[in-house]
Amino acid sequence: MGQKLDQDMPEDRPEPENSARARASTAQADQTPADLPGAALLEVIEAFCRTHGIAASTLGRLAVNDGKLASRIARGSRVEPTTRARIEEFMERVNRGEIELRGRPRRKKSTSNAYTMAELVNRESSIRTPGSFAIHEQRHRSHVFAATTNESWVQADMIVTDLLQDPPPETGLRLFYSPMDNGVTLTRVLRAIHARHPGLPILVVMKGWGLEDLRNTMGRMIDRLIEHPQLVFVLTNLYTREAVHLKKTAAEGPRDLAWHEIGLTGRVSYDYQLQLADLFPRIAPEWCVRQGPDDFPVYSRPSVVTIMRADQRKAIAHLLPRPDGPPLAFDYAFLNHPYLHSHTMKFRVDYILAPIISHLAPGGRMKVVQSLGSDPAHEIIQSVWPNEPLKPVSRHDIISALRKARPDLMRGASLRGLTDARSLYRFDMHTLPTITGSDQPDLSLQGAWSNAVYFARVREQLVEAVMRSGTDYLDATRKVLLRHRGLWFVNEAFEVQRKL
Hey, CA dihedral for 302, 308, 314, 316, is it positive or negative? negative
pLDDT-derived band of residue 131, with 50, 70 and 90 as boundaries?
A: low
For position 477, what pLDDT does the model report?
92
* pLDDT: which is higher, 98 or 86: 86
Q: What percent of the chain has pLDDT over 90?
A: 46
For position 134, what pLDDT does the model report?
62
Q: Which letter does DSSP use for residue 149 in this model?
A: B
For position 58, what pLDDT does the model report?
87
Q: Which letter does DSSP use for residue 393 in this model?
A: P
Residue 8 has pLDDT above 70, yes or no: no
For position 3, what pLDDT does the model report?
38
- Which whole number is the average pLDDT over 465-481? 91
- Which whole number is the average pLDDT over 117-140? 58
pLDDT-derived band of residue 180, with 50, 70 and 90 as boundaries?
A: confident
Instruction: Label residue 23 exposed, middle or buried (CB < 10 Å: 0-12, 13-18, 19+).
Output: middle
- Which whole number is the average pLDDT over 256-273? 94
For position 41, what pLDDT does the model report?
85
For position 228, what pLDDT does the model report?
96
- Which whole number is the average pLDDT over 454-479? 89
Q: CA dist 313 to 307, 310, 320, Å?
A: 10, 5, 8
* Average pLDDT value over all residues in the chain: 83
**CA–CA separation, 236 and 31 (whole Å):** 55
Over residues 26-65, the pLDDT tens digits come to 444 445 555 556 778 888 888 888 888 888 888 888 888 8
Q: Are 120 and 66 in contact (CB under 8 A)?
A: no
Closest CA to 241 of 412, 344, 359, 126: 359
For position 320, what pLDDT does the model report?
96
**CA–CA separation, 407 and 398 (whole Å):** 13
Q: What percent of the chain has pLDDT over 70?
A: 83
Q: Is it true that the peptide bond before 376 is cis, omega within 30 degrees of 0? A: no
- Which whole number is the average pLDDT over 123-144? 66
For position 37, what pLDDT does the model report?
67
For position 104, what pLDDT does the model report?
54
Note the pTM of the prediction, 2 decimals. 0.72
* Domain residue ranges of the chain, discontinuous segments joined by +: 31-119
pLDDT-derived band of residue 450, with 50, 70 and 90 as boundaries?
A: very high
Residues in the chain: 500
For position 368, what pLDDT does the model report?
96
For position 282, what pLDDT does the model report?
87
Hey, CA dihedral for 283, 289, 294, 295, is it positive or negative? positive
Residue 205 has pLDDT above 60, yes or no: yes
Window from 91-105, 188-202, 229-243, 452-466 with minimum mean pLDDT: 91-105
Window from 105-114, 207-216, 356-365, 453-462 with minimum mean pLDDT: 105-114
Instruction: Label residue 451 exposed, middle or buried (CB < 10 Å: 0-12, 13-18, 19+).
Output: buried
